[in-house]
Structure 1
Amino acid sequence: MLRIDDTERLVEIGVHDLIDTGPKQGHLSLQVAWSARTRMRAGQEVHTTWQAARAEEDAHFRREVTLKRRVVVRDWECRIQGRVDGLSKEGDHTVVEEVKSTTLTAEMLEQRTLEDFPDWARQVHLYLWFLAGEGTAAVGRLVLVSLLDGSQRVLHVAPDPALDQWVKRQLEWLLIQHEDRMAWRARRRGASVPFPHDHYRPGQEHLIDEITSALAGGRRLLLQAPTGYGKTAAALQAALTVARDTGHRVFFATARTTQQRMAEETVREMARRGLPIRAVTLRARERVCLNSVVACRPDACTYAERYHDKVREADIVSTLWSLGAGPEHPGVPPPDRVLQVAGDATVCPFAVSLDLVASADVVIGDLNYVFDPSVRLAEVGDRPREWLVIVDEAHNLPERALDAASPELRLAVAEAAADALRTGPHASRWGPFAQLAEDIADWLRAGIARVPETARDGELALRVDEGVDRRTLDELAQRVEGLALDYALVKLTHPPFPAGMPDLWLDLGRAVLRARAAGRSATEATMAIWRAPRRRRKRTARPRRSNQTSLLQGPSVAHDPNDPSGLKLLHRDPASILGPLFRDLGGVVCMSATLSPDDFYRRVLGLVPDKIVRIDHPSPFPPEHRRVLVCPEVSTAWRDRDRDRVRTAELVSDAIRCVPGNVAVFCPSFAFLEALTPLLETGDRPLLVQHRGMKESERTRFLETMKKGDGHALMAVLGGIFSEGIDLPGEALLAAIIVGPSLPAATLERRLLQDWFESEYGEGFRYAWLVPGMSRVVQAAGRIIRTESDVGAIVLIGRRFVQRRYASLLPADWAPVRSVLPGADLLDHWAHLHQSLAEPHTLDEPGHGETEAVG
């Protein structure tokens, strides 16, 4: 409980909030595999049982007694209260009894002292302080009860003579933070929100008014506008205007680093133009880690050691807000500045970014920080109504939500965890943990054994009540929680896994907990998928040990990290995941160039019909600047690819040669790209070929090369890092050649998703395959024509593009025409542009292709 009344200058605060108030101390916290809700429920059961037993043995025992005390700090009246588990009498003294549950065994409890539980001891100190304020002499007892074996240990607690000063320090820190926050909000309320550019793009000013109206009215907005329209600037301008007036905060959620940078630069430009703002960008932990390995624990990382103390001593949060990106950009520190300041203080940059979130007006980061419960920011999850969320590239959100709600338990991880703990250093300490990993592996093997030898792709799909022994899964999850704290404590002094290796036991434990949660909440939309190993073992016993190198390699045995064998709980209904969160948030803007068809996105996003506002803005750019060609001569369907591969390569080569500048070729998959590229004949035009697992540095180098406009051809995949969220205006990209619609791979999961959409909406194939596939096409084509002066062309190669069910998902303003000779038609296009716009391109003598409107 924490309530602050500025008018009355009154603070009402509970004991737990008072203890949590103030800067943290010590190392970064332990990573523990348990469910907070389950842990709380177990603790409540311990309290109830203990209180009943005490009441039976002591007639004077009182349970759940409320205690209060009042102090004045900085001219604020502060009322503090708490509820003690039990009060009893012993002679002339009142006895405060506080019970806490723990996952420690009886042996471990006997080794613990009061110093091992500082927050719990502080709670008892506060109850004694309450009673002292009433003139009551009291002593305290901290009763520790093991959740594992029911054993108890009683630690005696004496009054703390320094507690009065500690309470005032805590409250003073709280009030200073509150006063600073109120002063900052007042400053923001008094400031205008400047537009980040000198001029509005066509239609952009009206768009800002529409978004502002929707957010101010508490509506959920679906915004579809073409790439290059200025959606990012418009949405941020509108959201920050509403947030200024209402006290909301803004989260800009996007999966693409390039879009994160664009949002960051937009806010930074607003700051340069006078907007008082604090904004932080969250990069992935692995990308900003300064340690030699990503191991967030003080024994393995000096940046985690004494983290909270060093952050406080160096006043890092205030320093970063004041520094920003320089004198003209206060309050918007870029990730590189966070990295530098954190490195200078030897603290974790990722943790510093999370600390900045608490006082940020704008947070920019991945979709998962809002929509994935396992990594959702506490600031968002605990107070969703405080946030206005802008979802960029929102067409990706349904798939991301399903991924987050579909946990996997992999046999390889369980086996590797067990082997590493059994055979590694200090193996004697890890017996119970290794045994649990082995039991999880045995349970998975039993499930895998149900997959018939003849099963397609070695997979078996069942309803959850048929496919999962939920009682055993619950028992395994309870054992994980029972051992979780012990594991974390022992790991501090005896790390079970080498530096640079993931903590397999922790990963396994968390996966079990996620699987249990998914199993408990399973509906008809959830399916259990058992996957057998790629090479099914002849027996279900443990595999032979090997010296083979692997990412999942323990001290003496290796396991294939890519082996999918195990259990996946596939959730198929994104609406059930996204709908409740959308209802709780203060405001939502879902925007993309591809939010069609309307029925699909309204349904799968789970939006309440009477709360939805949909805005569609057509392209403001001159239609004559762009030409869309369709070449239906070849088929790119899976069954026809080998037959038509050579002719497809000829059409692509012809088109590439006739683009007077940079061109991008987008293929439906890496396999298709790798088969097509060697067949291309592009003369001396240099190729830039995307490959699997491309690093960020390589991607950046490709983009920088394209921006030079030297006539390169980029070979890339649809739905990949080059087809969405990148900006290549003007000469950087003149044409996009798209080879076939990029339908999702034909997997069991996709077929199950089709079944669900068919049963719910009667649109199985369209929702599961067509919409995602054609969305990738439109996104890739959106790299062309991003400003009023841009010119370009889009070439669609493949017969399906002229079929009605595919063509109906193309933008209405494309007006594609059929082409037999795409190269000649492209030359005609640029010749026409050269004549009408006086473009300085050097062209060959234009040919004359054969074109026909696609009807």
Structure 2
Amino acid sequence: MATKIGIRQLVEFVLRQGDLNEVKNSQNTALNGAKIHRQLQSSRGEDYDSEVYLKQLVTMNHTDYIIAGRADGIQLNDDGALIEEIKTSDQPFDELTDNTKTLYWGQLKVYGYLLLQEHPELDQVTGQLTYFQVINEKITKTQRILHRAELDAFFKDLITEYEYWLTLRADLREKRNQSIQTLPFPFPAFRPGQHELAAAVYKTIRNQTRLFVEAPTGTGKTISTLFPAIKAMGEDVIERLFYLTAKQSTRRVAEEAITLMSHDGLKLKSITLTAKDQIRFPEEQDVLPEDNPFMLGYYDRLKPALKDLLTHEDQITRAVIETYARKHTLDPFEFSLDTSLFCDVIICDYNYLFDPLVYLQRFFSESDDENFFLVDEVHNLVSRSRDMYSAAVSDQPISTLLKLAKPDKSQPSDDLQRELKKVRRSFTRLSKALIDDHLTEQVLPDPPDKLLRTLRTFNEFVTDWLAQQKPGPLLDAVRDYFFACLTFVKIGDLYDGSYQTRYVLEGHHLTIKELCLDPSDFLNRSLELGGGAVLFSATLTPMAYYQRVLGGEANSLAYQLPSPFPPKHQAILVTQYVQTTYHEREHNVPRIIASLHAMLAAKPGNYLVFFPSYGYLLQIKAAFEAAYPDVATTAQAAAMDASARQAFLDQFQADPTQTLLGFCVLGGIFSEGIDLRGNRLIGVAIVSVGLPGINPETNLIRDYYDHQNGLGFAYAYQLPGMNNVLQAAGRLIRSAHDTGIVLLLDQRFASRRYTELFPAHWQYYQTIGSVSQLEATIANFWHQMEVPHHEDKTNSPT
């Protein structure tokens, strides 16, 4: 299989020079670009073809490469050939740097060269660079006559310059494929269900389809998805693998799986991308780009740094990136992105594929079947994606900004104040409309078009203003508000029938929210940028719901694995005597604390109890401690940094000498992603069915899906709550030797509406009618569990 090289990637890698910031795309480019392209293309004549795919096979060092890309437009007629490249930005054309224009024309020249290869009868082509300035909609067109001889020489020089990197990439690819051919599964044997999952993933990759997988804890889903994907890579079925996650802990598990396979001889380049604000060096904080040594001359030092890194490292973690970035004085975040172009496996957050503001344009500006996506813990993507495609803006910061911009009242108003006041007037008009109608909030189906136009103008002004300012409180405050306005405008460009706009007037301040109620179409488009995807989690019940909300309803397959652990190793106990609805909570406090004590009294050990809110947690904790002061307790705090979280978990030691009950929030930081194996945890209680708190925005989701399929309450409240329950319960059984109690404290769990959502390994659940029955049932369970508790070391949890 010939390796594909994108035209933009080729041109930018070879021709980029100078500082990092001078070739940065405009902030408005990403979302406005595609829409503006379509508008300009549709205005051309009938003999104009848009998005024309051009390619050329190039052989170097006995290896085939395909240089390919889509020209924005080509016009062929009796007057000759014209090829157009369209660029969009909020920066005036005459302010573009020479290097930026060189990159634009470099792409045009490659497209021109490829077009002339397809038309040997032509000796020249007219190149047209069409530049659209977004804010004022100004179009600048420049044309050049590009002769065949000039284009032949340009393309030859370009490829010659890139040849070293092509040869390096080919050598790395050959070593990778050779190592994969002999790569064994990294454990002596497959766990139950593991081989079937690996086979399903491999088949999905071969068929370029989409697969949703529910893989319960213990199936080893990380290694069971990575291993077959890497095997397919060794057969040249895919060229690059993206492992997308929601949490750092999951990314570490993926890194560990790669390390494990490397011990068996795997030779590939993997990289873990870290968020910009986490990986930037301290010296870069509060420093303007023109004063930042890690950005100045960045592209002049990039290639030696890449050569150094790729020669010496295979698994490129955050620590590795930071080491080489400091060695070569490069911004570590941008260096990681440039390094990723040479990597086979890219481990990163969901944002880098799905988020319309930060997705990786270098990989996802167009579809590429050689990319494949593994999306882990995909149940998290439901709420995350709604956040990604929603935005809010308020007039509240404007008063503070005006004071900062004019500390002395005698000082005349400046340009920044003038633009801020324009934005404030737009908000005032919207607030007045609400007040006149005696409303404090309103929901409308249409976007706030007039405000969006005002914010676009404001964003254009601030873009120039920021470049002229020195660090300080005013700069920081304006930049924060600018990013909020910028995001709001970008999301406004995506607005469609899945959106509602919510206006909320609190006191004198108005907040406007563009709410994406159903991001499934956006997620589907993102997934179509690769050759297929496997989306998996330990909890994807009911499967049809996740396929619908995650964009896979029409064109995906589903696979649900059984739990590899003996179902009778955990007692699933449903209390029919506890009610936790809002009006019944107070009356049921004694029953809840008595039930918790019954669970603890049967066997000393470590236990967790989860609550739907922090306030409810504090209420039950106080009542429990008052009734049972001899029982040791601990609780999740309202805010905890990484060290505080670890300190909380460290209290749950193996072979405890006394009982410990931990109070946690359902859906919070300890309800998933923690692994307390063996007897570090022997019981989990869950108070309530976990319904999200009733609020106007969740009600909008409910109403939307009621209109779509009549399942509004289930989609907005019941199923998200039940997923939190399943995730929390999943903290208990982490290996084949673990045993314990899952205590469901809410009579609603006994109704068919909930029992039909129970996973298959909960088939032996028992309904409990009283505290005394609970005590007897738990005592009987522990009497039957006489197998010694120790960690399962036969197979990694990855």
Q: What TM-score does the superposition give when structure 2 sets the normalisation length? A: 0.80
Cα shift at 1:386: 2.7
Paired AA for residue 688 in structure 1: T
Report the identity percentage: 25
Cross-structure match for 2:567: 623
**1:516 and 2:462 correspond:** no
Cross-structure match for 2:198: 208
User: Would the aligned equivalents of 2:377 and 2:537 in 1 still touch at CA under 8 Å?
Assistant: yes
Cross-structure match for 2:118: none
Cross-structure match for 1:61: none
Cα shift at 1:12: 11
List per-residue Cα deviations over 1:792-834 (Å, max 9, x = no partner). 1111112221122122222233122133244553333222212
Cα shift at 1:435: 3.2
Structure 1 unaligned segments of length 5 or more: list them: 53-70, 86-96, 130-135, 157-161, 325-330, 541-564, 842-855
Cα shift at 1:73: 9.5
User: Would the aligned equivalents of 2:18 and 2:296 in 1 still touch at CA under 8 Å?
Assistant: no
Q: How does 1:226-375 map onto structure 2 within 5 Å? A: 226-245=216-235, 246-291=237-282, 294=285, 297-299=288-290, 301-313=292-304, 315=305, 317-324=306-313, 331-375=314-358
Paired AA for residue 648 in structure 2: F
Paired AA for residue 530 in structure 1: Y
Cross-structure match for 2:605: 661
Secondary structure at 1:643 match in 2: helix
Q: 1:749 aligns with which of 697, 702, 707?
A: 697
Q: How does 1:686-697 map onto structure 2 within 5 Å? A: 686-697=632-643
Q: 2:522 aligns with which of 570, 573, 577?
A: 577
Cross-structure match for 1:476: 454
Cα shift at 1:446: 2.8
List per-residue Cα deviations over 1:652-686 (Å, max 9, x = no partner). 23323444322111111112112222222355554
1:476–1:623 CA distance, 2 compared to 1 (3 A): same
Paired AA for residue 827 in structure 1: A
Give me the whole-angstrom Cα distance separating, in 2, the residues matched to 1:152 and 1:205: 58
Cross-structure match for 1:549: none
Secondary structure at 1:664 match in 2: strand
Give me the whole-angstrom Cα distance separating, in 2, the residues matched to 1:725 and 1:278: 26
Cross-structure match for 1:736: 684
Cross-structure match for 2:706: 758
**1:218 and 2:208 correspond:** yes
Paired AA for residue 461 in structure 1: V
Give me the whole-angstrom Cα distance separating, in 1, the residues matched to 2:162 and 2:291: 33
Secondary structure at 1:280 match in 2: strand
User: Would the aligned equivalents of 1:221 and 1:589 in 2 still touch at CA under 8 Å?
Assistant: yes
Cross-structure match for 1:435: 418
Give me the whole-angstrom Cα distance separating, in 2, the residues matched to 1:125 and 1:213: 40
Find the structure with the greater CA-based Rg. 1
**1:699 and 2:681 correspond:** no
Q: 1:831 aligns with which of 773, 777, 783?
A: 783
**1:21 and 2:4 correspond:** no
After superposition, the CA RMSD in angstroms is 4.7
Q: How does 1:649-688 map onto structure 2 within 5 Å? A: 649-681=593-625, 684-688=630-634
Secondary structure at 1:639 match in 2: coil
Secondary structure at 1:389 match in 2: strand
Secondary structure at 1:385 match in 2: coil
Identify which range, 270-279 or 115-124, moves more after superposition.
115-124
1:419–1:154 CA distance, 2 compared to 1 (3 A): farther
User: Would the aligned equivalents of 2:86 and 2:129 in 1 still touch at CA under 8 Å?
Assistant: yes
1:654–1:497 CA distance, 2 compared to 1 (3 A): same
Give me the whole-angstrom Cα distance separating, in 1, the residues matched to 2:688 and 2:31: 48
**1:486 and 2:477 correspond:** no
Q: 1:173 aligns with which of 161, 180, 186?
A: 161
Secondary structure at 1:527 match in 2: strand
Cross-structure match for 1:395: 379
List per-residue Cα deviations over 1:156-188 (Å, max 9, x = no partner). 9xxxxx999998764333222222222322333
Cross-structure match for 1:769: 717
1:587–1:31 CA distance, 2 compared to 1 (3 A): closer
1:717–1:606 CA distance, 2 compared to 1 (3 A): same
User: Would the aligned equivalents of 1:280 and 1:362 in 2 still touch at CA under 8 Å?
Assistant: yes
Give me the whole-angstrom Cα distance separating, in 1, the residues matched to 2:152 and 2:351: 43
Cα shift at 1:731: 2.0
Paired AA for residue 208 in structure 1: A
Cross-structure match for 1:596: 541
1:749–1:829 CA distance, 2 compared to 1 (3 A): same
Cα shift at 1:742: 1.1
Identify which range, 623-632 or 376-385, moves more after superposition.
376-385
Paired AA for residue 33 in structure 1: Q
Give me the whole-angstrom Cα distance separating, in 1, the residues matched to 2:437 and 2:586: 28
Q: 1:35 aligns with which of 25, 29, 32?
A: 29
User: Would the aligned equivalents of 1:144 and 1:153 in 2 still touch at CA under 8 Å?
Assistant: yes
Structure 2 unaligned segments of length 5 or more: list them: 46-57, 75-83, 114-122, 145-149, 792-798
Q: How does 1:149-168 map onto structure 2 within 5 Å? A: none
User: Would the aligned equivalents of 2:524 and 2:551 in 1 still touch at CA under 8 Å?
Assistant: yes
Paired AA for residue 691 in structure 2: L
1:318–1:656 CA distance, 2 compared to 1 (3 A): farther
User: Would the aligned equivalents of 2:276 and 2:333 in 1 still touch at CA under 8 Å?
Assistant: yes
Cα shift at 1:16: 9.8
Give me the whole-angstrom Cα distance separating, in 1, the residues matched to 2:202 and 2:137: 58
Secondary structure at 1:721 match in 2: coil
Cα shift at 1:142: 11
Cα shift at 1:839: 5.6
Cross-structure match for 1:186: 174
Cα shift at 1:529: 0.4
User: Would the aligned equivalents of 1:628 and 1:793 in 2 still touch at CA under 8 Å?
Assistant: yes
Cα shift at 1:365: 1.7
